[in-house]
Every structure is written in C-alpha cells, then in structure tokens.
Structure 1
Amino acid sequence: MKRSVMRDRAVNAAIRSVLALAMAVPYRTRVPMMGWIVSRIVAPLAGWSRRVEANLAHVRPDLDAAEVRRLKRAVPDNAGRTLIEIYSGEPFRARARNTPLAGPGLDALRAARAEGRPVIMVTGHLGNYDVPRIALAQEGIALAALYREMRNPYFNAHYAEAMRGNAEPIFPANRRGLLGFVNHLRQGGAVGILIDVFAGNGAPVTFFSKTAPTATSAAEWALKYDALVVPVYGIRQPNGLDFEILIDAPVPLSDPLTLTQALNDSLERVVRTHMEQWFWIHRRWKPELRAAQD
C-alpha cells in the first residue's frame, strides 16, 4: 500500500514538536519527562500497551497482573528515554563515554582488536543500544552500526543524523549500506547488529521458548570472515540516566542455526533480568502469536 506523504509529514511534525518540547528542558528532567510522555500518552494511543500485554501473555503467562501492569508502563518509558537520549547530543554522549566496560567477553574483544581480527557485536533493543557504540569509541573501536530505515522518510532523516552524531560509521540496511557494512567487517573492523527483530525468511530459532524467526546474517558473516562474535548490552541503571555495559562471553563459531540460537539465548538471559528494558512492543513472534490468537 502506498504511503501517504501528507500523513508522514504530519506524523513527523508531531514527533518533532514533542522532541523540541523535551529538548527545551535540562537533560536530567528531559529524559524522565520523555519516558512519561511515551508511557502515559503515546503508548495507549498507539496500541503499544495492548501489544506489550499480548507478547507477555504469549511467552510469560506466569506473570501476575501487577507485574504486567508495571511492564505496560515501564517498557514504553524506557523507549521514550532512549529516543530522547539519542537526540540529546553531548549530555548523552558524556554519560555514555564514562560508562565502564565489563563482562566475560571484554578480554577477548580487546585481544581481537589488537590482532586486527574482525568482530561482530550483537545486541538487542534493550536499555539503550547506542551507549556501547559511544563507549567503545573511547577504546578506539569504531563500531559500525547497521540500522533499519524508518518507514517515514521525514522522521528517518533526522533520526539517522542523530545516531550518526553519537558515533560513526552507521549504515542503512539497504543494498548500498550493506555493501559498506560488510566491507568494514571484511577489512578487519568491528560491527554492531540488532538481532531481535522479526525476519520473515529467518531461521526458526526460539526466544523465550517460542519460535521467533531470526536473520542468520550475523552468523553467516562471522563464519565467512572468522569474526569474533560477542553479545553486548547497554543496561540502564536504577537512576534512569546512567548505564552499565555488559560484554557477554564470546559465542563459539559453529553453524548459522546454532550460533543464532546462542545469540537469542544470551539476549533472553539479560532480558529476564531486566524485563522493563526490552522493547516488548515489537511483533517478535508473528506469525505464531497471530495463530495462537485465531
């Protein structure tokens, strides 16, 4: 279906207005304020609250009603905070730069970079996924990011520019972008990939014990270029403004299906500990969830 130019422009204008309102206040107020706006206003209107509830019912039916209510507010709150952080420029970058790197994969990451070995760092929509890019740049690691372009081209233009201002290089997931991204890896660079989105032609691996088709691209590139594969997460701290960066243990190179499942398992372990920080708004389990609702 052809997208409406007028609708895209109107939606972008509304988004820019909310962003401008948030940017007009100090950073320490701006971030929680944007979380409140998205959780209390945007999420109910956009149907996000219902989607969070449906996803949780599908994979975590053991949760009690109080916890589901909490997550329906907390999940879009984290999403709102993440969005305005990405747009906040230096105040956000200063916090991210000061975030220490830790975890069982840190030594392996440093060794691979010292050797000039390609590295694939895999993450998900948890906490703030831009924090590791900024912090790793402090170590001299230019983590090339691959991102899906927004359907709304007007919003995508300034969103991509905001991400580029935080750390470079970034590549859109189109033909030209993929060529640059893979070339960066092939030449011994480090790349970052978000793995937790539905892929219609992806492998039938599981996430929270339910089938969640996932692209095997990261695994295939790792095998082709003998890259170190390391999960990484920018986890929001209790004050809502700071982070910790967890670099999980490297995933052994095996075959695309086994490697992809191991990456999903790593993300799941972290999500279970920080349920409110993962983007439960995604349609991660379609068509299985759709079939369960029919």
Structure 2
Amino acid sequence: MRTKTSDPKLVTRKAFVWQEEAPPRLADLVAGGEARRRFLRYWVRDLLRDLPKMLSYHMLKLLPTGIASELGALHYQAIRRFYPAHNARIDANAARIRPDLDPAAVTRLNWRNKGRLMAEFSVLPRVGPAGRIRIEGAENIARARAEGPVIILGLHLSNWELLFSVLQRMSVPFALFYMPPESRAEHHIARKVRQSIGATLLPPGVAGVRPAMRLLGNHDGVVMLFGDEGFDGRIMAPFFGRPTHLSGNLAVAVRLARHSGALIVPAYVTRRRGAHFTCRWLAPIRPAETDDPGTALAGDVERLNAVIEPIIRRHVGQWHFLDHQL
C-alpha cells in the first residue's frame, strides 16, 4: 500500500530522530577543550539551571491543588515582562488567529495558563480524583475501541497531561509519542508523572513508529500523538490558511490509521477556571476509502486539520504553541 503522496508541492521533512545525550565521564573533565566544556555544561551549568525547577516541583507537591496552580499563574504573569520577543510573537499570532480578540488579553491568559501547566505537574495525580475534570463524549472513545485499535489525536491545550489521567480513570491502557523538553529536569519530571498515571512512552520521532504499529496490530491497541505541533520554533499545525503539508503528526496519524485499520479519535482538555477542566472526546474519524492512499493522504490531513483548527481558534489563549513562529 502506498501512503506517500506523489504531489511534489507537499514536501515532507526529514524523519525526526532523537537520542538522549550520554552523560560525560570524569575523563572528559581532564581532557580539556570541547570535552571539558561539555562536562561542565552537563554537570554544572545544566544542574544549576534546573535546580529551581526541581525545588519548585517538590515544594508545590505540599500545597493544595488550586493554590499550586494559582502560584504558577502568578509566577509566569510576573516573569513575562522579561520576554519581550515572546510577547510580541504571541500578540502577532493572536491577532492573526483571532482578530476579534484583544491580543494583550490573549497574551496575558497564555502566560498564566503556561504557569498553571508547569505548577500542576506537581499535583497532577490529585486533579482527577478530586473531581476537577468533567468528561464529555466518553461514548466516542468507547465506541471506537469496540471496533478495533484507536489513535488518539490530542491537542496541546490548557493542561493536556490530564488526557493521560482521564485514560487511566477510564481503564484504557495506551502508548504515547512525546517530544522530550530540552531541560533534563523537565524531561525527568514529565516522564515520571506520565508513567505514574499509566502511559507507556514510545521513543521520540521515527524510532517510535515500529512499536506503535505493533500495538495497533492488536484489537485493543491505543496510541496517542498530538495533532498540533511546534517544531524548531515554528508552528507546524494547524495550518491557519497556509498550504497543506505532510511534514507533521497529522500525516503520521493518517498513515498509522491506514496501515493498522485504526480509528482516529480527537481529544482535548480545556480549562474552565483555575484548576478545573473539561475533557472532550470527539467522534471517531476513519481515513477516506480509496485505492490510492498516497493521493488521498493530503485530503485526509486536511480533514483532520479542519477538526483541530477551529478548536485551537476557540481556545487560543490556552494554546501552548502560540509563542512559536506562524
């Protein structure tokens, strides 16, 4: 089965390969030159830079969920003045995506939401059991699972980590494609929290495709990836009026669905107020039936984009990639 398009205008990026940096050895310190600089960066600069993140993560665990979330919002609201370039990008993107809204208000909301997200990592396992998540459309994921394997197409809105908590609550085992943060501390925290609430983490990039296909070969296999993307500082999806391309996760989701026969179920979390959320599961999507999947690929990607783009527009202040280049 051919799933690559023959349209030369739909250029795909080189397959992404990620490899975790190996810790430098003590011998690198005495070797001098670049080896010493790498040792000092890894074991001194990075550890000092990440120390406040680790301390705040453990200290916020001691606080009630709502207070921890609000402290995160206040912290990011205070520091945003030191990032004028980020503010300018968020303002410009907000004006383009939602010209009917006040860009300054969207920017303020976006910073506060990011602060809440970071702080809520400390209390994430408590959010669901405390009754802070309202679930809508659970019948959609149940119906899709009854038919066979499922690809969950998540969105980076509000605190998307709660999708994993909801799946655990619904007793749905799943595997997740994920992009490791640059900070080793943030990577450690994210990996620890996700595994604690039942996620199987797939290797980032192209290395995760083969194990994902093995999982989707089972009738009850569930794999999650995110349809909206920021890559190398640029917004890959949604398209927001730009030409369709096959360089992101929307195309990956379609290809996986075609090869495995899986249904695609979009899902996202929005913030109602403070640390209270709504998780929505949308109707399952099946790629179009065709004898030429390569030619149909762009159309399937556009269908998925047509689902996720209005959701991002509606909740643009809660969108994680609003500070990327559009």
Same topology, TM > 0.5: yes
Q: Distance in 2 between matches of 1:57 and 1:141?
A: 39
1:159–1:199 CA distance, 2 compared to 1 (3 A)? closer
1:94-109 superposed matches below 5 A: 94-95=129-130, 99-103=133-137, 106-109=138-141
The answer on whether the counterparts of 2:127 and 2:133 sit within 8 Å (CA) in structure 1 is no
Question: If the length of structure 1 is used for normalisation, what is the TM-score?
Answer: 0.81
Deviations along 1:109-163, whole A, 9 cap, x unmatched?
3123224x11011021102212222222232211322110122334312221122
Task: State the match for 1:113 in structure 2.
Answer: 145
Q: Distance in 2 between matches of 1:20 and 1:212?
A: 43
Task: State the match for 1:289 in structure 2.
Answer: none
Q: Distance in 1 between matches of 2:255 and 2:174?
A: 19
Paired residues, number: 274
**Structure 1: runs of 5+ lacking an equivalent:** 286-294
**Structure 2: runs of 5+ lacking an equivalent:** 1-33, 289-295
Deviates more, 1:180-189 or 1:156-165: 180-189
Q: Is the partner of 2:90 in helix, strand or coil?
A: helix
Deviations along 1:192-241, whole A, 9 cap, x unmatched?
111211458x9x8752223575511111001111111111011111x321
1:26–1:107 CA distance, 2 compared to 1 (3 A)? closer
The answer to whether the aligner puts 1:253 opposite 2:320 as a matched pair is no
How high is the sequence identity, in percent, across the aligned residues? 20
Task: State the match for 2:16 in structure 1.
Answer: none
Report 1 or 2 for greater relative contact order, CA contacts < 8 Å, sequence distance ≥ 6. 2
1:64-213 superposed matches below 5 A: 67-95=102-130, 99-103=133-137, 106-115=138-147, 117-174=148-205, 176-188=207-219, 189-198=221-230, 207-211=239-243
AA at the equivalent of 1:207: F
Question: If the length of structure 2 is used for normalisation, what is the TM-score?
Answer: 0.74
Task: State the match for 2:313 in structure 1.
Answer: 272
The answer on whether the counterparts of 1:99 and 1:245 sit within 8 Å (CA) in structure 2 is yes
The answer on whether the counterparts of 1:205 and 1:261 sit within 8 Å (CA) in structure 2 is no
The answer to whether the aligner puts 1:19 opposite 2:51 as a matched pair is no
Counterpart pick for 1:244 among 256, 260, 278:
278
Q: Distance in 2 between matches of 1:158 and 1:211?
A: 36
Q: Distance in 1 between matches of 2:312 and 2:178?
A: 21
Q: Is the partner of 1:151 in helix, strand or coil?
A: coil
The answer on whether the counterparts of 2:229 and 2:237 sit within 8 Å (CA) in structure 1 is no
1:280–1:211 CA distance, 2 compared to 1 (3 A)? farther
Task: State the match for 2:24 in structure 1.
Answer: none
The answer on whether the counterparts of 2:113 and 2:158 sit within 8 Å (CA) in structure 1 is yes
AA at the equivalent of 2:67: T
AA at the equivalent of 2:155: G
Task: State the match for 2:3 in structure 1.
Answer: none
Root mean square deviation, CA, Å: 2.9
Q: Distance in 1 between matches of 2:198 and 2:208?
A: 16
The answer to whether the aligner puts 1:232 opposite 2:287 as a matched pair is no
